[in-house]
Amino acid sequence: MSDGSHGKPGTSRSGHVEAMMSKQPPTATELASLIDLLGSKMGPARQKAREDLVAHGQHATPSVIEALRTSPSNQVRWEAAKALGEIGDARSIPALVDALTDSDPDVAWLAAAALKPFEKAAWPRVLRALIKDETDSLCLRKGAHRVFVHEEEEGVNDLLATLVQALTPYGAPAPAKSAASELLARLTAAP
């Protein structure tokens, strides 16, 4: 259905989000409760909590960032990364870049997926992480690969191709750092 009703008469996903956003911003207690539910053993409860956080949008961003950065639960961090990707608030870019090295590869993968829609806005932070990475983290390289693969930007496509090639699992860390440095320099020099 093109009206967004998802088969339910009189309802629409955008209508639900608009109704939630027209209310007062959520309280800290409400946000904390939703964050706690991200760790529920019940899948539907986790999904509903994530959807509610997404519906709160930018009001929820700081709480979700905190959950991604500090929760000891892989499940909470996974849900937080997914929620931040759906919210699309640029304030989450630093936390998502940090999560590219999460101890749980599934969280790192979702962080990369969440960064992808930010496109060029996320690139400098990801490039700096690659340049500063002293451990040559394979997890970071895989996440960065996911962020940059299939990306195009006039004036830097040659460097993007070099970087993506260097970030493959068989690529060496030194060429990746070199390409990241060169790409960052070219991006920051561009008007």
State pLDDT tens for residues 36-83.
999 999 999 999 999 999 999 999 999 999 999 999 999 999 999 999
Tell me the pLDDT tens digit for each residue of 134-171: 878 889 999 999 999 999 999 899 999 999 999 987 77
**What pTM was estimated for this model as a whole?**
0.84
Confidence grade of residue 15 (pLDDT, cut at 50, 70, 90): very low
Residues 48 and 74 in one domain: yes
Residues 109 and 150 in one domain: no
Helix or strand or coil: residue 89? coil
Residues 104 and 133 in one domain: no
CB 92 within 8 A of CB 116: no
pLDDT at 178 over 70: yes
Residues 113 and 129 in one domain: no
Query: Exposed/middle/buried for 6, CB within 10 Å: 0-12, 13-18, 19+?
Result: exposed
Q: Which two tokens stand for residue 9?
A: 């008469």
Weakest-pLDDT range from 1-5, 20-24, 81-85: 1-5
CATH number at residue 77: 1.25.10.10
Q: What is the pLDDT averaged over residues 18-39?
A: 81
Q: What is the pLDDT averaged over residues 9-32?
A: 60
Task: State the amino acid at position 32 in one-letter form.
Answer: A
Last residue of a domain, one of 118, 153, 183: 118
**Does a structural domain hold residue 163?**
yes
DSSP state of 156: T
Last residue of a domain, one of 118, 149, 171: 118
Last residue of a domain, one of 86, 118, 150: 118
Residues 129 and 180 in one domain: yes
H helices present in the chain, as ranges = 13-22, 28-37, 43-56, 61-70, 74-87, 93-98, 105-115, 123-132, 138-148, 157-166, 173-189
pLDDT recorded at residue 172: 76
Helix or strand or coil: residue 169? coil
Residues 85 and 148 in one domain: no
**Does a structural domain hold residue 13?**
no
Q: How many domains does the chain have?
A: 2
pLDDT recorded at residue 94: 98
Residues 88 and 165 in one domain: no
CB 143 within 8 A of CB 113: no
CB 160 within 8 A of CB 107: no
- CA–CA separation, 115 and 104 (whole Å): 17
Confidence grade of residue 175 (pLDDT, cut at 50, 70, 90): confident
pLDDT recorded at residue 23: 65
Domain containing residue 77: 23-118
**Does a structural domain hold residue 1?**
no
